């Protein structure tokens, strides 16, 4: 099955972070190039482009690592 190059998941308060990270790993294993996990309550964004998790705080700017070269957005805007 065809995977999307970039997948973003927004965590709701009911979501288990552990399950979201496991799901993200599945996306990457199925060919997705980059996964963004957004945690609005914690004001955090995690990005994985197949190697390590990068953590972005509310006052930072998130950049795509592999997809959409040069795309960036403020975490505060993403979580607004």
Global pTM value: 0.89
What rounded mean pLDDT belongs to the chain? 92
* Nearest-angstrom CA–CA distance, 70 and 22: 27
Residue 55 has pLDDT above 70, yes or no: yes
Element (H, E) at 19: helix 17-29
Domain ranges of the chain: 6-78
The CATH fold of domain 6-78 = tt1808, chain A (3.90.1570)
The predicted structure's pLDDT at residue 25 = 96
């Amino acid at each position: 099955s065809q995977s999307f190059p970039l997948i973003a998941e927004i965590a709701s308060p009911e979501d288990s972070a552990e399950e979201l990270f496991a799901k993200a790993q599945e996306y990457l294993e199925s060919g997705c190039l980059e996964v963004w996990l957004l945690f609005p309550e914690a004001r955090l964004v995690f990005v994985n482009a197949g190697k390590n998790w990068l953590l972005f705080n509310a006052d930072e700017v998130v950049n795509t690592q592999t997809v959409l070269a040069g795309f960036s957005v403020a975490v505060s805007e993403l979580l607004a």
